[in-house]
Amino acid sequence: MTESTEKVENICDARRRILNIAVSTVLLETGFDAADKVSLETLTEMIQCFITEVGNSARGYCELAGRVEPVLGDVSMALINMGISLQGIEQYAARPSRHIIQPPQQASVPRTPSMLSAGSKAKPAPHIPFHLPPLPDPHAYIRTPTHKQPVTEYEAIREKAATQKRDIERALTKFLSKTSETHNLFNTEDNQVYPLIACKPTFPSYLPALLPTDQVFDFDELEYHFQVANRTEDMPADKKENSDNEGDNGGDNENANNSQSETQDAPLGSSPDRNKSGG
Amino acid sequence: MQMSRMGSPSVGMEDDIGSGHALSDFLLQLENYNPSIPDSVVAYYLNMAGFESQDPRLVRLIALASQKLLSDIANDALQHCKMRTSSQVTQTSKNQKGPKEKKYVMTMDDLVPALQEYGITAKKPHYFV
């Protein structure tokens, strides 16, 4: 706030300074060689008040006559009202010893270059009046998408989904064949041509047939349970070994559910052997 | 001009009308004359008071009037200053330069009585708040 008041004062200061210069010019012309700072300021203040008062008075006379623009008559009435003779002005203008030292006319302040402007401002449409401010930068109200609109055709989407699925499967099988155990198609030494991903059967293999499972209503929930059941980070060390015996591919549904409930209820000291021995 | 007739129904009325006419002629001369105070500054202060004129000659007239007032006050102050320094000159005999070449410095002591004659009282406050 102080900055804004200082700025306003600076704007007034420039005019005050010009008035100071003008007063000094007149004093020089009168014959003074120097002047007190206080008296200079007093005279400047007096001149400023005088101009304001004449303007006020002339405006009053002008409005009294029902006009808006002041005329010479208004100004002369204002001057007469303040006690200034009009004849003296003309004589004063024609005085021979007047200094032609004119205070420099102020040039208009250069406008600060517009920073942070991206692109050129668009021209206003013809229905917009010209006295309104110009349009803002185009990026402020025009939005161009940065990417192409996605294809929404059903056929294209189906095709895309199918290719994605195929690519995913292929990549995943390649990865597994490279990293996990593989079987050979032919009865030769380690053959890299047609590796088969090794099947790891659970032991015993007849157990899923013996233990009936409930109906699976929600496969996502089942998967979630399975993942939570197989989490080994939070479980104590002895349980970790047992849970490692769980199969990777699907395992036992009931086992998964039971073990999950077990871990929730009694993480410390239940009897996991009964449930986990089948793993 | 009718306003001036109504405002001052005295003997000096004709002078006012005459000077009013002269002023309108003078206004034409003002186009070439530039007073010491720039037009923009005077116009700014007039605008602050509510006086907006498209005619720059009116602005120059007001500037000239204020300049004349200033020079009148300055002349009066110079008189006061000369009176004071002449009384000092007669007292001191060491003065080698003539009184014309003496430097005149305007101080508040000269300015205050000059302003008093115009009805402006400029008093310095005894204390600053």
Residue from B29, B52, B67 whose CB has the most chain A CBs within 10 Å, to mutate: B67
| pLDDT surpasses 90 at A197 | no
CA distance A125 to chain B (A): 32
| Of residues B63 and A107, more confidently modeled | B63
CA distance B7 to chain A (A): 9
Overall residue count recorded for chain B in this entry: 129
DSSP assignment string, chain A: -HHHHHHHHHHHHHHHHHHHHHHHHHHHHHT-SEE-HHHHHHHHHHHHHHHHHHHHHHHHHHHHTT-SS--HHHHHHHHHHTT--HHHHHHHHT-TT----PPPPPPPPPPPP--S--SPPPPPPTTS-TTSPPP--GGGT----SSPPPP--HHHHHHHHHHHHHHHHHHHHHHHHHHS-EEESSSSS--SSSEEEPP---SSTTHHHHS-------HHHHHHHHHHHT--SSS-HHHHHHHHTS-SSS--HHHHHHHHHHHHH-TTT---HHHHTT-
Rounded Cα distance, B75 and B71, in Å: 6
Contact with chain A for residue B13, Cβ under 8 A: no
The reported pLDDT for the residue numbered B10 is 42
| pLDDT surpasses 60 at A274 | no
Cβ(B58)–Cβ(A76) under 8 Å?
Answer: no
The reported pLDDT for the residue numbered A165 is 96
**Which amino acid is it at B117?**
E
Across B14-45, b (16+ Cβ under 10 Å) vs e yields: eebeebbeebeebbeebeeebbbbbeebbbbb
Given an 8 Å threshold on Cβ–Cβ distance, is B108 in contact with A77?
A: no
Cβ(A61)–Cβ(A77) under 8 Å?
Answer: yes
Q: How far apart are the first and last CA of chain B?
A: 49
- Residue A138 banded pLDDT, cuts 50, 70, 90: confident
- ipTM rounded to 2 decimals: 0.78
Rounded Cα distance, A134 and A129, in Å: 10
DSSP assignment string, A163-176: HHHHHHHHHHHHHH
- Give B-chain residues touching A83 at CB under 8 angstroms: 119
Given an 8 Å threshold on Cβ–Cβ distance, is A39 in contact with B51?
A: no
Contact with chain A for residue B79, Cβ under 8 A: no
From residue A26, give the alpha-carbon distance in Å to each of A30, A34, A101, A231, B43: 6, 12, 10, 97, 20
Q: In this structure, what token pair is assigned to residue A101?
A: 């030292």
Average confidence (pLDDT) over A70-74: 90
| pLDDT surpasses 70 at A13 | yes
Proportion of chain A above pLDDT 90, given as a percent: 19
Q: In this structure, what token pair is assigned to residue B48?
A: 């602050």
- Give A-chain residues touching B70 at CB under 8 angstroms: 23, 26, 43, 46-47
Rounded Cα distance, A32 and B105, in Å: 6
Given an 8 Å threshold on Cβ–Cβ distance, is B67 in contact with A26?
A: yes
Which of A18-32, A49-63, B12-26 reaches the highest mean pLDDT?
A49-63
Interhelix angle for B56-91 vs A2-30, to 10°?
60
Q: Which residue of B has its CA nearest to A42?
A: B122
| pLDDT surpasses 90 at A65 | yes
The interface residues of chain B toward chain A in range 14-73, judged by CB-CB distance below 8 A, are 15-16, 19-20, 22-24, 26-27, 29-30, 33-34, 36-38, 40-42, 44-54, 58, 61-71, 73
pTM, two decimal places: 0.54
Stated as kind and residue range, the H or E segment containing B123 is none
Q: What is the three-class DSSP state of B105? A: strand
- Residue A201 banded pLDDT, cuts 50, 70, 90: confident
Contact with chain A for residue B116, Cβ under 8 A: no
DSSP assigned state of B106: E
| pLDDT surpasses 90 at B46 | yes
Average confidence (pLDDT) over B90-99: 55
Given an 8 Å threshold on Cβ–Cβ distance, is B44 in contact with A26?
A: no
Rounded Cα distance, A120 and A137, in Å: 7
Rounded Cα distance, A204 and A164, in Å: 37
| pLDDT surpasses 70 at A14 | yes
| Pair type for strands A34-35 and B105-106 | parallel
Q: Cα-flanking dihedrals φ and ψ of residue A195, to 5°?
A: -80, 145
Rounded Cα distance, A253 and A216, in Å: 9
- Give B-chain residues touching A56 at CB under 8 angstroms: 49-51
